[in-house]
Amino acid sequence: KVRIPVEPLTKQHKGYAFVTMTSHVEAQDCINALHGAELGGRELTVEISKRSAPHPKTPGIYKGTPHEEHSVAAGHVSEPLSEPAATCS
């Protein structure tokens, strides 16, 4: 799953994306393959995403997805991409 944040008013991408991986190993392999790689003349920063605020408390029942997801953040993307420009393998 890929999520590319955009500015609400202009609908222009913010220059980064979030990619959800199926495992921590897959996420780490992606980081190892793409961190520092060049895309569109710019160097990619690829790392495990960090939350700026904690998750809200749940009412005592886990309501998340049935499997654990691992997100990777890719920064310094200079142009919108209509198809994958880089792969983790």
For residue range 43-81, list pLDDT tens digits in order.
999 998 877 666 666 666 656 655 555 566 666 555 545
Interatomic CA distance for residues 66 and 81, integer angstroms: 30
Q: If you ran DSSP here, which 8-state letter would residue 57 be given?
A: P
pTM of the model: 0.53
Nearest CA among 57, 63, 68 for reference residue 27: 68
pLDDT single digits (tens) 35-48: 999 988 989 999 98
Interatomic CA distance for residues 28 and 46, integer angstroms: 10
